[in-house]
Amino acid sequence: MRRIAVTVGALAAAVTLAFGTTGSAYAAEGVLVVGGVAYVDPSRCYDTDARPLTVDNHTDEVALVFSGPDCTGTLLELVAPGESTVSEFGTSVYVD
């Protein structure tokens, strides 16, 4: 039970940091690959119809994988800089 509470707390903190702060004047630096499409210095939400959703995060920011379009729905995964993931249920990815 404690592990679940810690995980939920970490996810809530990540969402708060991503969406709760004032807008940044800077984009993430690097390349974010979402569903095979590369975005240089990304800074927004990226939707994809690719299934399963693949995310390769070569930026300096954490990428957030969501279950719904336009970065809505459930936060499914956090993809740290330099990490990759395959998400069966992911639909969109946010990076700031």
Average pLDDT taken over every residue of the chain = 85
| pLDDT score of 10 more than 70 | no
In angstroms, rounded to a whole number, what is the distance separating the alpha carbons of residues 57 and 27?
14
Mean pLDDT over 47-73 rounds to: 97
- Domain ranges across the chain: 2-95
The helix or strand, by DSSP H or E, that contains position 11, with its residue range, turns out to be helix 2-19
* 34 or 9, which is more confident: 34
> For the domain 2-95, what is the CATH code?
2.60.20
For residue 55, report the phi and psi dihedrals to the nearest 5 degrees.
-135, 125
Using CB atoms within 10 Å of the CB of residue 27, give its burial: 0 to 12 exposed, 13 to 18 middle, 19+ buried. middle
| pLDDT score of 20 more than 80 | no
If pLDDT is split at 50, 70 and 90, which confidence band does 1 have?
very low
pLDDT of residue 5: 43
